[in-house]
Amino acid sequence: MPLLDIRNVKKEYRKGDKSVTALSGVNLAIEKGEFLSIVGPSGSGKSTLLNIVGCLDTPTSGSVLYNGRELGGLSEQQLSDYRRDNIAFIFQSYNLIPVLTVRENVELPLVIERKYSKAEMAQKALAVIESVGLGGMADRLPKELSGGQEQRVAIARALVKDPLVVLADEPTANLDSTTAEDVISIMQRMNTERATTFVFSTHDLRMERHAKRIITLRDGAIEKDERRQ
Amino acid sequence: MGMIIKIAFRNIGRHKRRTVLSALTIAAGLIVFICMDSMLTGVDRMSIDNLINLSSGALKIQTADYDKDKESFPLNLTLDSSLAPLAAALAQNKRVSHVTRRTQFLGQLSNYDETVPVVGTVVDPAADTLVFGLKPYLTGSYFGADNSREIIIGRQLAQDLGVGVGDNITLYALTKYDSRNADVFKIVGVLSTADPGINHSGVFMTFAAANDFLDLENSTTELDVAVARTGSLPAFSAETRDIQKHLQADFPSLRVNSFLDLGAGVMELTHAKRMSGFIIMGIILVIAVVGIFNTVFMSVYERIREIGVLRAHGMKPQEISAMFVLEGVITGLLGSVLGCVLGSLLNLLLVTKGIPMEKVAGSIATASYGIAGNVYGEWNVAATVVVFVLGIAVATVAGILPARRASKIPVTEALRFN
């Protein structure tokens, strides 16, 4: 059974009087531990697909199954719980909470999860901060970090709760090439070491190069599904 | 909850200027209310004290017929037949501290050039000072041992007639038997009180003088009663009402009025002043609501992406809402603490130093309130606690709407927001 099973998902938006089709019947099965890249030109539906997989958005029709469980029809509260327990996000512009330190930002998903003690949260956060190469920066605020460091914090924040799936929307778009390579290698390492499933949208050829599977979207439909060894 | 509180506190710290401005608006509302309430309470107390001290006593007893015709000050409607049982009943009541008798009449005072209508009050000089407090307002002297040709008159009356202490003046009046009489009296004292009635038309003489001048034969038209004052004004009022009720029941042919009945105008003014105080505070708090609403709304607007991130990580809409409401509450708490502290400090000055009301509001305004000299504020802990809670409540309410808006923003829209 695939970890994520996307069946004939369609998404339409209203734009004034017009109806815009963002996804037109996407079928996609994602297995546990995949390092999957979604590519395609702007407006091809990459972000919409990621949002639907991450339960940030709901499809107009079709279904999304997580470990065989249908996610359609879940209430707002249940979707929040689903995201909290299973999915982590990495955003293009990092989106760290500016008033929280690096450690507090990384602890945030654990705080929302409410499963750990304060000491356990601090221990887990510091370990993952160390693993992304930011040891010694735990007490800094986001404004004291470079863009690359901020994205590492975002990765640490995504990984701290050991999610089964990490969804990343253009995670290297705002980074210089050296920093982007660093970020990619961290994600790869986490994928290998923890068997975390990574699904990321990208325009970045370097990212594409490292992907084990590349889904190419065009006009809201899958044009190509390539697997690499 | 800890993280929500942490984020709320730090965001408030991040926008210090905005937070301080909102908190100051609330603080201003509270300061105005605390000081206004203090001064209004002080003015009320002074008005009522003056009413009791200068004209009404705690209780005023007249015949029911006199009460109906009191505007004409009839000298024939006396209490004389009831005086003995009344005195006995009052003597038995331990809450009654002193009793005096008075008789009022209408007359005219003339310096031969001008004639001014006056209200004369015949007093028992020894007992009167135990019920009324005229002496502190007196220039010259009180009635002497031989007082059959002595009068005391109001300041404005003296000024209008161009007379003063030591001068002789002619008083005209109808006697008890409705015959006209005129006699010359020596002004031994001039009264400058907070009661405009006394100042403008008050003439006081003793029974010794009135027996001769008005053929009074010691007739008494009113008995004035002082009640021992312990506790707050409401407690004193309740006690006075209680004595009034019992006396009225025991003497149905008489009319027993308390200072509350006699000062109905003052009481109405007190109520109106309170309402105006609440209205002013209400206006300031509405400004504070708009300020906090704006602060929290700006905060929501600036942090839409942050809201998206928190929601993406699984934070529930009500937790997002709680975070923003908390910012309103903290701002309200800051404003309320600041307002109560600054308001209390300012009130300390009002309580200890007072305000020279005549200089601030003018003599006409102070006379209409029945006050004179410095007016001192009063502590009102209950009102301070109420406005403290109100400040926080107002801030909470102001934060709810933008907080609800924050919790309802779709996650994808929030994450796309620039």
Helix (H) or strand (E) holding A134: none
A-chain residue closest to B13, CA distance:
A99
**Has residue B306 got a pLDDT over 80?**
yes
- Please give, rounded to a whole number of angstroms, the shortest distance from the CA of A77 to a CA of chain B: 7
Q: Do B312 and A97 touch (CB under 8 A)?
A: no
Predicted TM-score (pTM) of the model is 0.68
Distance from CA of A57 to the nearest CA of B (A): 7
Nearest to A80 among B2, B316, B410 (CB): B316
pLDDT digits (tens, 9 = 90+) for B245-260: 999 999 999 999 998 8
Q: For residue B11, give the nearest of A51, A99, A108 by CB distance.
A: A99
Q: Using CA atoms, how far apart are residues A182 and A149, in angstroms rounded to an integer?
A: 10
Residue B2 at interface with chain A, using a CB cutoff of 8 Å: yes
Residues of B whose CB is below 8 A from A108: 3, 310, 313
Nearest residue, CB atoms, B314 vs list A57, A104, A112: A112
Residue of A58, A99, A151 for testing the chain B interface, max B β-carbons within 10 Å:
A99
A91 pLDDT above the threshold of 70:
yes
Taking the CA atoms of B387, B388, B391 and B397 in sequence, report the sign of the dihedral they define: negative
Q: Count of CB contacts below 8 A, A vs B?
A: 67
Q: CA nearest A58 in B: which residue?
A: B412
CA distance B130 to B13: 62
- Element of type H or E holding A140: none
Facing residue for A100 by CB, picked from B7, B315, B415 = B7
Residue B365 has pLDDT above 60, yes or no: no
Interface test with A, best of B6, B16, B303, B313 (most A CBs within 10 A): B313
| Nearest-neighbour CA in chain A from B305: distance (Å) | 7
The full set of domains in chain B, from first to last, is 2-50+267-416 (no CATH), 75-220 (2.40.70)
Residue B308, chain A, CB below 8 Å: the answer is yes
Are the beta carbons of B6 and A88 separated by less than 8 Å? no
pLDDT at residue B1, as a whole number: 66
Cα–Cα distance measured from residue B147 to residue B186, given in angstroms and rounded to the nearest whole number: 9
**Tokens representing A132?**
């992304």
Question: How far apart are alpha carbons B321 and B177 in whole angstroms?
Answer: 84
- Contact between B312 and A83 using a beta-carbon 8 Å cutoff: yes
pLDDT in tens, A118-170: 899 999 999 989 888 888 899 999 999 998 899 889 988 988 988 889 999 88
- For the segment B316-328, what is each residue's pLDDT rounded down to a tens digit? 888 888 888 888 8
Structure tokens at A32: 């546990």
Instruction: Choose the closest CB to A83 out of B13, B313, B415.
Output: B313
Average pLDDT over residues A7-36: 90
The rounded percent of chain B whose pLDDT value lies above 70 is 95
Do the Cβ atoms of A76 and B317 come within 8 Å? Answer: yes
Is residue B385 a contact partner of residue B391, using CB atoms and an 8 Å limit? no
- β-strand partners of A168: A90, A200
Inter-chain touch A108–B313, beta carbons under 8 Å: yes
B305–A95 CB contact, under 8 Å: yes
- Under the banding of pLDDT at 50, 70 and 90, the label for residue B369 is low
Locus of tokens 């750990």: A116
Q: What secondary structure, in 3-state letters, does chain B show?
A: CHHHHHHHHHHHHHCHHHHHHHHHHHHHHHHHHHHHHHHHHHHHHHHHHHHHHHHHCCEEEEEHHHHHCHHHCCCCCCCHHHHHHHHHHHHHCCCEEEEEEEEEEEEEEECCCCEEEEEEEEECHHHHHHHCCCHHHEEECCCCCCCCCEEEEEHHHHHHHCCCCCCEEEEEEECCCCCEEEEEEEEEEEECCCCHHHHHHEEEEEHHHHHHHCCCCCCCCEEEEEECCCCCHHHHHHHHHHHHHHHHHHCCCEEEEEHHHHCHHHHHHHHHHHHHHHHHHHHHHHHHHHHHHHHHHHHHHHCHHHHHHHHHCCCCHHHHHHHHHHHHHHHHHHHHHHHHHHHHHHHHHHHHCCEEHHHHHCHHHHHHHCCCCEECCCCCHHHHHHHHHHHHHHHHHHHHHHHHHHHHCCHHHHHHCC
State the pLDDT at residue A8: 94
